[in-house]
Every structure is written in C-alpha cells, then in structure tokens.
Amino acid sequence: MDKQQLQTWIEEYLSGTEYELVTLEISPANDILVEVDRLEGVDVDFCAELNRFLVERLDAVEPDYSLEVGSLSLTAPFKTKMQYQKNLGHDVEVLADGKKYKGQLVSVDEETFSVDVAEKVAVEGKKRRETQIVTHTWRYDEPKYVKYDLKF
C-alpha cells in the first residue's frame, strides 16, 4: 500500500473543504485508518462520501485492504493546531512535566497555547493556601498529550 498516494487522494478530496487530515495509518495487514476533523465538527455523511471516494481508487490498485474513515474520538489527544482552536474555551487535560493539569484552554497562537488552572497557592501573610487561577503556557511539542476533558 502506497501511503503517499493515499495521502494525495485524501488531500485532493479535502481541498476546498474546511476538513483536514488528522491521522493516516496503514498496518502491515493493509488496515487503513483515516481520521479527519474540522472546526464545526465532522459530518457522518462527509466521512461516508470520503470513504466511497477512496474505495473507488483503492479497489483499482489494492485487492486486499480494510478501510475506516471517521472522526477522532472525543477523548483522543490533540494532533493539530486546528483541534486546539476548536476547543478554545473548553476544559482540557494536559500531561506535561510529569503532572496532569486540568483547566480551560484560554489562548491558542502559532507557537503556544495557554490553559487556566485552578491551583492552591501560598499567599503572603496567610497561613492557608488559597485557590487561584494560574495560567500555564506550553509550546505544542512540550506536553506528552492534550485532550478534551470530559466531565461526568
């Protein structure tokens, strides 16, 4: 299976849409996983159309494969800057520096993103630590993962 050719077909189909390719994986057994996303969320019909588009091309060159086209799981780690933009204002979980941070994603730019986290901090003149909002900023490549924080 030619991954570059498959990626070219997907990008051809996505051009002119608001969708972007997030994941393209091909196993040694030719199990193909394609995950797409967009700011407004993923439409199931769009995934079905992309699937049909790819099947037409794959059937011509590869007789034995399986194909799964869909969106990322809600709890999957972010892979693209667009996913950070999509979740701006939402609660996220960040694993960085060996510690989990949970808070609101408050800013996203080309190089970094910031999360407001409620933390207990020492306040001068007070015996007890107080909860305050602390803004943490990371480069995109620093955390081990960042994902949407589901609250049940």
In angstroms, how far is the first alpha carbon of the chain from the final one?
Answer: 41
Strand (E) or helix (H) holding 127: none
Q: Is the confidence at residue 152, as pLDDT, over 70? A: no
pLDDT over threshold 70, residue 4: yes
> Which one is predicted more confidently, 98 or 151?
98
pLDDT at 19 over 90: yes
Looking at domain 3-71, its CATH superfamily turns out to be: RimP-like superfamily, N-terminal (3.30.300.70)
Residue-wise over 50-65: b if at least 16 C-beta within 10 A, else e? beeebeebbeeeeeeb
Beta strands in 97-150 (DSSP E): 99-108, 112-121, 130-139, 145-148
Average pLDDT over every residue of 59-67: 91
pLDDT at 61 over 80: yes
* Res. 123: pLDDT tops 70: yes
What pLDDT sits at residue 63? 84
Give me the CATH code for the 81-148 domain, please. Answer: 2.30.30.100
Instruction: Show me where the domains of the chain are located.
Output: 3-71, 81-148
